Amino acid sequence: MGEFQDLYAGMSDEALCSRAASGDRAAEEKIVVRYTRLVRIFSRPYFLAGADSEDLIQEGMLGLLKAVREYDNTRDASFSTYAAICIRNRLYSAIRSAARDKHAPLNRYIPFELSFLQEASGHCVGGVSSVASDPETLIIQQEAHKELLDALKGRLSNFEADVLKLYLQGLSYSEIAERVSCPPKSADNAIQRIRRKLARYLYPGETSKG
């Protein structure tokens, strides 16, 4: 089993997609795992602005699976680019549907979040498989979440700002906690505080103080 894992680890995204298209479920699982963090990166600004985290992750993963199963390597586009498009489109569709059906306030934060996400995705998709370690990608991620940080400037503590930066890079609560030397629950609590502060920024006069 270890030999197969090593084989998959060295494969390009496009090669894994080709194997997945041939019925190799292990290859499909490998590329899904490889891109799960990208799903989190794209979905987290929406969660911060009021959407449900689990629903967003599920929608983003469906977009990712669509990309894996429909990718055509004869076209002039890398898998990372195609995956980013599929994930974003699925998220946008889910958000708009929720806003139309029962969550009207979501309509007002879509433009804010679309701007933020488009800035991020327009640059980072080419190196997504190394999103955690590629220096260029990390710099681009910092630029991508600058808009949100600027919007919250003066509203966050230093600790909250540090947690938010890592959160928007797609790190788990455990990974964030390790980076900032705090319990995972403290990182979770910080994100909840940030959500409340962002809600007051997006919907002034409509949210209760807390």
Residue 54's pLDDT band (cuts 50, 70, 90):
confident
Domain spans, the chain: 12-127, 145-204
Which of these, 22, 131, 8, lies nearest to 68 by C-alpha position? 22
What number does CATH give the domain 12-127? Answer: 1.10.601.10
What is residue 67's predicted lDDT score, i.e. its pLDDT? 94
* Higher per-residue confidence, 171 vs 107: 171
Residue 27's pLDDT band (cuts 50, 70, 90):
very high
Mean per-residue pLDDT for 139-149?
56
Q: Any idea which of 63-67, 133-137, 190-194 has the lowest mean pLDDT?
A: 133-137
pTM, entire model: 0.70
Distance CA 67, CA 90 (A): 11
Average model confidence (pLDDT) across the chain: 76
* Residues ≥6 apart with Cβ < 8 Å to 94: 55, 56, 59
CATH number for 145-204 (one of 3.40.50, 1.10.10, 2.40.50, 2.40.420): it is 1.10.10
3-state secondary structure string across 20-79:
HHCCCHHHHHHHHHHHHHHHHHHHHHHHHCCCCHHHHHHHHHHHHHHHHHHCCCCCCCCH
Mean per-residue pLDDT for 57-70?
94
Q: Give the CA dihedral 178, 8, 55, 162, nearest 10 degrees.
A: 20
